[in-house]
Structures are given as C-alpha cells and as structure tokens.
Structure 1
C-alpha cells in the first residue's frame, strides 16, 4: 500500500480572482491530498491579454486560498520545469483553459513524467450577480466606473 500523498497541480493566470477560480481550485484540491498551483508569469501569457496584476501579487493571492497548499510562479522559459520539480500524480486543467490535453500528455511522456491529466468541471452560471470571468469583471468596472 502506498502511503505517499497524492499530489495535484493546477495552473493559470489568476488575474483578478473570482468564484470560477475558487471552483477550479477546490475541484483540483479534491483530486489530491496536496495542491500546488503554478501561476503563469506575465511575459508567458500570450493566449489572452496580459494580466493586470503583477506576478507576485497573483501568486500571493492564490497562496492565501484555503484549497491551495503552495503557489509558485511558472518558469520563464519552460512550462514543464515546475512540473518536473513537483512530480505530480495529476495535472488538473480548468474547464475552459486553452490547453490541448493530448499535447500535454505527449510532452509528459517525452519527459518521463508519469502523471494523469484531468479537466475540472464547468461551475455553471453564476448567481446573485456573480461574475465568473476576469474579462467580464473588467468590462463591468468600465461600465459602472468610467
């Protein structure tokens, strides 16, 4: 019987935290005994607008959340460097993250990392005026404050 804790990894930008982020991290935490979260560095975010908040601030905010055991910034050059260090049992992708699961699985095999790749569920629509997207939060601020 293996007494080693199951290690899960979640990753993302986490710019302006919202209930969708918390849902993702709670679900990722439920897939392991320990949850490490890798925060994308600003210079590595190319699939959407650059984060508004600085790297350290985003990392510190994620680290303060109850489901998270540790939060660290991603590597500047190679997104798999922290994965190799952590050696997780499962990588949990957000339900709407742009990542290609098959591509990640292939890269893990090439690097000799024995790790499952799972996708978190969609939280579903917000209620009571919740906003579940950083972009939507920014738009609401523009509408109501500008």
Structure 2
C-alpha cells in the first residue's frame, strides 16, 4: 500500500516482546497490513515501567523480532526519549497492540505536539486457536513456574 506519489508507507509497532508468542506474531502481522514497511521498536528493559521488566536482554528480544519475516527492521527504543526512533523512522502509521496500556488519543496529541503527521491505529485482538494456547508472556512465565517449580 504505497502512499502519495508512490512513496512507501512506513508502519511502526512497538512493545516489550519478552518470550515471543502467537499474540505477538498476530500483532505484527496485523500492523504490517497498514503499509509497505514494518518497523518494530523493542522497548529497553529500563523503560518498561508498567509491568515487570522483561526477562530476556534487550538485544536478544530485538534480534528475535527482527527474525520474523513480516518485520522489515527492528530497533531498540531510545533510553530517554521514546520519540527518537519515531523521528528517525518517520512513520505514516503507528499501530498499538490491542491490549497495550497506551492511550491512543494521548499518543496522537503527543505526536501532534512534536510535529509528527501520522495515524495511530489499534491492532485487532487474536483469540486462542485451540484450548491451552497461551497469548501472554506473563501467562507463559506463570505456567512454567506452576509446572516446573515444586
């Protein structure tokens, strides 16, 4: 889906991506449908404040996300300013995960205040495909603890 004058529509998705699971894959595949290039910003451990910090190192999480065929480029977030990668990528669309804690309207306002002209969308929810499928990193960790730790 090319933009005006044949330009490439760049899409940004972002998240922690600790213990990659089918819910993450769905989010990124859904985000990719909004444009031609999918850039993914992987949050640095020190910037994850809304939940427990990721278990896996920043670079490892970025490398795993980058290995997905739907992802054109994976980036680590900036340690101090979340908008630095957005400036560099210059997206046409930012797609939030369906259950991410971010408020889309607050992000739209922050983008406008910083002079960015891009849409903010919300990805669709993915339901489990079969009984027992886990679509949450936290639920995966809890299951491991329940089943492996006496």
TM-score of the superposed pair, with normalisation by structure 2: 0.95
Work out whether 1:43 is the aligned partner of 2:28: no
Work out whether 1:119 is the aligned partner of 2:125: no
Cα distance, 1:128 vs. partner? 4.2
Structure 2 counterpart of 1:33: 36
Work out whether 1:104 is the aligned partner of 2:89: no
Q: Helix, strand or coil: the match of 1:47? A: coil
Cα distance, 1:55 vs. partner? 0.1
Rounded Cα–Cα distance in structure 1 between residues aligned with 2:26 and 2:5: 29
Rounded Cα–Cα distance in structure 2 between residues aligned with 1:91 and 1:141: 33
Structure 1 stretches of 4+ with a deviation exceeding 4 A read: none
Cα distance, 1:129 vs. partner? 2.2
| Structure 1 residues not aligned, in runs of 5+ | none
Rounded Cα–Cα distance in structure 2 between residues aligned with 1:10 and 1:51: 18
Q: Helix, strand or coil: the match of 2:139? A: helix
Question: Residues 1-146 of structure 1: matches in 2 within 5 Å?
Answer: 2-146=5-149
Rounded Cα–Cα distance in structure 2 between residues aligned with 1:53 and 1:122: 25
| Structure 2 residues not aligned, in runs of 5+ | none
Rounded Cα–Cα distance in structure 2 between residues aligned with 1:58 and 1:125: 23
Cα distance, 1:144 vs. partner? 1.0
Check conservation: 1:126, 1:132, Cα contact below 8 A.
Answer: no
Q: Helix, strand or coil: the match of 2:12? A: strand
- RMSD of equivalent CA atoms: 0.9
TM-score of the superposed pair, with normalisation by structure 1: 0.97
Q: Helix, strand or coil: the match of 2:144? A: helix
Check conservation: 1:36, 1:70, Cα contact below 8 A.
Answer: yes
